Amino acid sequence: MPQAYVARSAAGGAGRAGRRDPGGRYGLLLLLLVATYLLAAFTGGRITSDFQVVLFLAVLILALRSTLVRRRAAMLTGAVALAGSVAALAADLTGTSAGAGAAAIWKGLLLLLTAVLIVRRVLARPTVTVQSIYGALSAYIIIGLMFAAFYAAMQHLGAGSFFANGQSGNTQTFQYFSFTTLTTLGYGDFTAASDGGRAIAVMEALTGQIFLATLVARLVAAFRAPAEQAHPVTARRWRPPGAVRRGAPMSYGRQPARNRSRNRPRTTPRSLQDVDRAGNYQDGDDQRDRGLRHHHQLGPRPDRRDIGGAERHGGHE
């Protein structure tokens, strides 16, 4: 019974591991953000500004769907965002500068909340995947759109023009100025006129540099493909040949061939005393036994001097 329970638990864990992570899918969000930027860049007017409120609300809902926020908190946040977006649309439709400024502030707050949720979710992931990189890029684009919304709010709620030299400010120019500042390009064709606008521009430039140098660079450096995540490669320490691994059982069996000759007992007799009376060698192999047996039967080899002396005396000593 315990074995069956362990098997079922292991099978359930493998099934859960094989499923896709329901959160952290940022591909669709990135496409929506790119479409929103291009729509605002090539079209203008109040209709584009009103449509951005709806698109930014959709971006927030997608970010809530991809985060680890509890269901009740996500539903509450979505309801508040929907009510605020409706109020922002109503204020923008009034056609006044105050209404347009309030709508721009609301768009900036929506984007700020979305960026915080995405960065929090990306940093909470145990591994870095392509979805994490998509999320970081989405947050980077959201930051640029957020500052553009705040620049528009300063334009509508301020006394004068936001840009110096009396240049007109609209959705296209605010996004252009925001992303050139975020990426620190600094073309110089648009500059902030007031001290508050220049201070916010400096904050945006610092945010863009820190975001690229820390978060995006770290994610790209730690990126791992799905195949590498399934079979992680662990670093192994170099171990000299013949070294015993720590924790491995010691073997007292047959020794290696290179050490066998050192411990082998001496088998060559030093004298004929090692041969028994029957002519058998006590501690050697068959070939040495035969040689020693033949030597015992014939006796020691005579000296050549003795042979020469016997020949001179006619074969007699």
Domain boundary among 169, 200, 230: 230
Mean pLDDT, range 149-169, rounded to an integer:
87
Verify that 70 and 210 share a domain, yes or no: yes
Q: What is the pLDDT of residue 167?
A: 83
| Inside any domain, residue 108 | yes
The domain in which residue 179 lies consists of 23-230
Provide the residue type at 293 as one letter: R
Mean pLDDT, range 41-60, rounded to an integer:
86
Q: What is the pLDDT of residue 76?
A: 93
What CATH number does the domain containing 29 carry? Answer: 1.10.287.70
Mean pLDDT, range 89-104, rounded to an integer:
90
Q: Is 314 left (phi over 0), alpha (psi -120 to 50) or beta?
A: left
User: Phi and psi (nearest 5°) for 306?
Assistant: -70, -35
Contact indicator for 107, 58 with CB cutoff of 8 Å: no
Verify that 194 and 299 share a domain, yes or no: no
The H-assigned helical ranges of 66-166 are 71-92, 97-124, 130-157
| Inside any domain, residue 269 | no
Q: What is the pLDDT of residue 250?
A: 55
Closest alpha carbon to 183 in 157, 209, 165, 202:
209
Q: How confident is the model at residue 222 (pLDDT cuts 50, 70, 90)?
A: confident
Least confident of 20-34, 127-141, 154-168, 206-220: 20-34
**Inter-CA distances, 36 with 32, 43, 55, 100, 303, Å:** 6, 11, 7, 19, 115
Least confident of 11-25, 107-121, 185-199, 214-228: 11-25
Domain boundary among 169, 197, 230: 230
Q: How confident is the model at residue 101 (pLDDT cuts 50, 70, 90)?
A: very high
Verify that 147 and 295 share a domain, yes or no: no
Contact indicator for 101, 156 with CB cutoff of 8 Å: yes
DSSP label at residue 85: H
Q: Give percent above pLDDT 70 in the chain.
A: 63
Q: What is the pLDDT of residue 86?
A: 94
Least confident of 47-51, 100-104, 308-312: 308-312
Verify that 79 and 203 share a domain, yes or no: yes
How many whole angstroms separate alpha carbon 61 and alpha carbon 74? Answer: 9
Verify that 196 and 314 share a domain, yes or no: no
Contact indicator for 54, 28 with CB cutoff of 8 Å: no
Verify that 286 and 224 share a domain, yes or no: no
Closest alpha carbon to 167 in 176, 134, 24, 50:
176
| Inside any domain, residue 162 | yes
Q: Alpha carbon 184 to chain centroid distance?
A: 28
| Inside any domain, residue 68 | yes
Verify that 147 and 294 share a domain, yes or no: no
Mean pLDDT, range 111-137, rounded to an integer:
87
| Inside any domain, residue 272 | no
Residue 13 has pLDDT above 50, yes or no: no
- pTM of the prediction? 0.64
Torsion 60-199-189-181 (CA) sign: negative
Verify that 163 and 293 share a domain, yes or no: no
Least confident of 71-75, 223-227, 265-269: 265-269
How many whole angstroms separate alpha carbon 279 and alpha carbon 303? Answer: 23
Per DSSP, the chain holds a count of helices (H) and strands (E) of 13, 0
Q: How confident is the model at residue 22 (pLDDT cuts 50, 70, 90)?
A: very low
Verify that 51 and 194 share a domain, yes or no: yes
Q: What is the pLDDT of residue 207?
A: 93
Q: What is the pLDDT of residue 17?
A: 40
Q: What is the pLDDT of residue 103?
A: 93
Verify that 59 and 200 share a domain, yes or no: yes
Contact indicator for 104, 156 with CB cutoff of 8 Å: yes
Q: What would the pLDDT profile of 263-290 be if each residue is shown by its tens digit?
A: 555 555 445 445 555 555 454 455 555 5
Residue 211 has pLDDT above 70, yes or no: yes
Contact indicator for 106, 53 with CB cutoff of 8 Å: yes
Rg over alpha carbons for the chain, rounded to the nearest Å, is: 44
Domains of the chain: total: 2
Domain boundary among 230, 265, 290: 230
| Inside any domain, residue 246 | no
| Inside any domain, residue 46 | yes
Mean pLDDT, range 64-77, rounded to an integer:
86
Verify that 317 and 176 share a domain, yes or no: no
| Inside any domain, residue 119 | yes
User: What angle is formed at CA 41 by the lines to CA 39 and CA 42, rounded to 5 degrees?
Assistant: 70
Q: Give percent above pLDDT 90 in the chain.
A: 28
Residue 32 has pLDDT above 70, yes or no: yes
Q: What is the pLDDT of residue 253?
A: 52
Verify that 201 and 118 share a domain, yes or no: yes
Least confident of 98-102, 150-154, 281-285: 281-285
